[in-house]
Chains A and B, each alone.
Chain A
Amino acid sequence: MFTDSTLLFVALSGIFAFSFYAVLVAGQLSLGQAGFAALAAYTSAVLAPDPAEAGDAVTLAVALGTGVVVGAVAAVLLGLPTMRLRGVFLAIATLGFAEAVRILLVNAEWTGGAQGMSVPKIVTPGVAWVLLAVVAYLFWRQGPTRYGRALAAIREDELAARATGIDVGAHRLAAFVTAGAVSGAYGALLAFTMRFIDPGLFDFASAIDGLVMAVVGGSTVWFGPVLGGAFLTLVPELQRAVGLEAGWIRPFLAGLLLLAVILFRPGGLASFFPAGRGTRPLSRVQASGARGDTAADDGPGAPGGSGADTNPAGANLAGTVQASVQPHRRRAQVGAGDVVARLAGVSKDYGGVHALRGVDLELRAGEIVGLIGPNGAGKTTCVNILSGLVPPSGGAVEVLGIDPVRTPVHRVAAAGVARTFQHAKLFGRLSVLDNVLAGAHLVTRGTFLRRLLWLPSARWDERAAVVHATACLERVGIADKAGLAAGELSYGDQRRVEIARALAADPALLILDEPAAGMNRVEAAALGDLITSLASDGLTILLIEHDVGLVMRTCDRITVLDFGAVIASGDPAHVRDHPDVVTAYLGTEAD
């Protein structure tokens, strides 16, 4: 039933769909792939030698190499100015690029204009399928790595990803360049498949087709694009096979099928398969539990110590195994009593609103400092300035020896600042465990390249990271929920996962923005104990909280903000009895 050319086009569509998948996994919507493919197709058609003289294999290799390089370079050039665009804006800017390329090709001399140019056909279904397998392999191995998780984290919540130390700009560009390279390969293959290429092959409709294939197949599972490409290529073939006449019926049924898939299968076609149901993290934890021979019954609840007996390999590996208990990198801890962070005369204006006015605040190593005040007092603004998200309008800031005003957010995080957010910002569709693993970005080693080569050290590193993350989950007391999607947890549990994620980065300064919101009294008391125990490990903690009782019990010092200014600062007893604090919280008597 399937002819050679059908098989060939299924593979080609799959490769093109992967070029969309490459950016969709990082939450970017790009439609520029058609432009990359067009540039790659024409360049490789011109540069590759004549297959009659050089042989098919050489021609194909040169064409593919040219295509990949042209696609990647074009993506870098387009990506540098456009990577700060988001969502639909990026989609339309890249679409504009693709259209501009198409119009240029139509008008250029060397391309044969709208008539196109003829290219020898040398791509066989076998070649196309091998290449599809290579591309699919790449993305399969990419998924559960530090790089893959960082992309997923950016997709789910860019701001939180940044605050966990992920260099969002570099990762977004990397994903974009991957898309460029893959679409470049597609373009080169297409050129040597069609016998004849013209700019119409790379128009808006083709970009839309690529996007549709990637989303219909499933944009979060590595084999989704293969399914999507097959679906979109085979539907017309099947219709022809069952004898449907050309005309309106075919596009109508194709649209109907597409609609049905997108409405009733939220994860795309990939969700028909077990691995596509979004439970990948759970199965991985189970798998890793089962794989680590002696640790099998510890399961996901295994505390940090279990890593030592997880890889009971030969003695020559003992060093690695031992090291894997601890995170890969440990930051130099600050000496007790040293200044960890300092705000001096910091102010912040939003338009005419003075969120902060001349705030002084100093955090010393190992201290728990409370920051309290009525709603709108400027507490969160303080935190955002400390973590580098918001520049102050005036004053000086120093955190762990760096100036967060002049430092990108992920570098502030790398210096040792971890934080939670007032409204929990978890990576909702990722599992609890993956959230914490993403939080460990700064203290783990990249594993993608080594996973491509099946180096065992990659597996050990991944295993060590899981052990580390599980230990962090243990510490906040929700290791039993490691396999659930973070977005499905109760609010109180989400806050705890967020703390575990922050802890996973092995920070020197932990900023907790209203961690007890949504917790009941028992949970809040447990949280207080956790905070105290973290501080006794040498961690410096800035606690912002409305639960004044919790703050009084846990903090060494308390600073009170009201209308953006510090109205009191000192030990809990001093602050509690301060008349201005009483006034700010209870109001003055009307007189």
Chain B
Amino acid sequence: MQQLLNGLFVGSIYALFAIGFTLVFGILDRLNLAHPSVFAASAFIGIELVEVAGLPWWAALPAVAVVGGVLGLVVERVAFRPLKGRADAHFAGLISSIALGGMIIALLQWRYGPDTRRFPAGTFPDGQLELLGARFTILQAAILVISVVLMVALAWLVARSRLGRAMRAVAENPTAARVLGVDVDRVTATTFAISAALGAVAGALFAMNVNSAQLGMGSAIELKGLAVIIVGGMGSLPGALVGGLLLGVAEVLAVQYIGSSWRDLVAFALLFGLLILRPQGIFGSRRLREV
């Protein structure tokens, strides 16, 4: 039970990170590899907000989300919009977002140096909760709740709101959406902003969970994010949620029963097996190409 719960805490962060990934892929059919850099950046910025500006940890989260949103707009504007209409936009987008992601990490190194940073002592409440014999901190509970609430809110936004309708229209057919009066550029930019804001919150939560931020933390989670969105089904929001939680639990169980050095292999074995058996993922639907 304790292990299961630990898995869910970590998994909820994976899910929140992956859901930003999958949102951009599902709606715009682009893989944004600058996403992990936003994840790392927000962790450092979150620490600075708490340390220098003296914000309580929970108040840093909305601020980090705003910063992440702005970064998302920058990523869209610099790395993706100039490629619009190019035949090689798919590959080029991968590379341009990798390049921009590298620049973001370089800027982080400039501002914060290469060393690991931590939240100042006493940032988090030290109360412990107990549920069904498992013990966990208030922070861990908050991480799970915040992640799930954000993801449910996103699902609601996409399914019900006017913006969500426009997003789904763009996902289905950008040209038709434009003809019908949807401002495709704006929807695209908004999608990037929302995606990056979620990635930013995930980064800050991750830093809080392990109380440290490193320049390489983005690349460490990048592979897991990719695994999650494949397992859940590319572009599927509920899939990313379930996939993230599944991965978190699977990792914790692997450490428990197989050994910590094999932890990462579990994720990839899972991923590989699933891709072979069901390439569209658990929740993904397969799109047939029209003749």
Interface on A for B, CB 8 Å cutoff? 24, 29, 81-82, 84-85, 87-89, 92-93, 95-97, 99-100, 103-104, 106-107, 159, 204-205, 208, 211-212, 215-216, 219, 247-252, 254-256, 258-259, 262-263, 266, 380, 384, 389-390, 421-422, 428-429, 487
Contacts and interface: CB of A to CB of B under 8 A. Distances in A.
Interface in B61-89: 78-79, 82-83, 86-88
A194 to B, nearest CB: 22
> Which 3 pairs between the two chains have the least Cβ-Cβ distance?
A252-B106, A255-B103, A255-B102
A251 B105 contact: yes
Nearest to B93: A262
Interface of B, secondary structure class, is helix
A390 B290 CA distance: 11
9 contacts: A82-B275, A95-B223, A97-B272, A106-B261, A211-B94, A219-B88, A248-B106, A251-B102, A266-B88
A432 B269 CA distance: 45
A213 to B, nearest CB: 10
B230 A81 contact: no
Given A87-B90, A262-B95, 5 more contacts: A89-B230, A215-B94, A219-B91, A248-B107, A263-B92
B289 A159 contact: yes
Contacts of B108: 248
A107 B107 CA distance: 35
Contacts of B213: none
Contact of A248 (B25, B98, B100, B110): B110
Nearest to A251: B106
Contacts of A389: 291
A216 B110 contact: no
A17 to B, nearest CB: 13
B95 A92 contact: no
Nearest to A102: B264
> Residue among B83, B101, B102, B262 with the most chain A CB within 10 A?
B102
A385 to B, nearest CB: 11
B91 A29 contact: yes
B257 to A, nearest CB: 16
B95 A95 contact: no
Contacts of A429: 87
A95 B223 CA distance: 9
Contacts of A390: 291
Interface string B98-123: 11111101111110000000000000
B268 interface: yes
B79 A259 contact: yes
B262 A107 contact: yes
B251 interface: no
B99 A82 contact: no
A211 B101 CA distance: 15
B164 interface: no
Interface in B203-260: 219, 222-223, 226-227, 230, 234
A106 B79 CA distance: 35
Contacts of A104: 265
Contacts of A89: 230, 234, 275, 279
Given A85-B275, A100-B268, A212 B291 contact: no
A216 B108 CA distance: 25
B271 interface: yes
A96 B90 CA distance: 20
Contacts of A258: 95-96, 98-99, 102
B276 A92 contact: no
B96 A421 contact: no
Nearest to A247: B109
Contact of A88 (B25, B109, B265): B25
Contacts of B98: 208, 212, 258
Interface in B131-183: none
B280 to A, nearest CB: 9
> Residue among B108, B223, B234 with the most chain A CB within 10 A?
B223
B88 A259 contact: no
Contacts of A93: 230, 271-272, 275-276
B164 to A, nearest CB: 23
B31 interface: yes
Nearest to A425: B291
A569 to B, nearest CB: 24
Given A24-B91, A82-B275, A255 B219 contact: no
Nearest to B265: A103
Contacts of B223: 95, 99, 204
Nearest to B109: A248
A418 to B, nearest CB: 15
Given A92-B230, A100-B269, A106-B261, A215 B91 contact: yes
A100 B25 CA distance: 25
Given A259-B99, A429-B87, A96 B31 contact: no
Contacts of A106: 261
A380 B291 contact: yes
B230 A259 contact: no
Contacts of B227: 92, 96
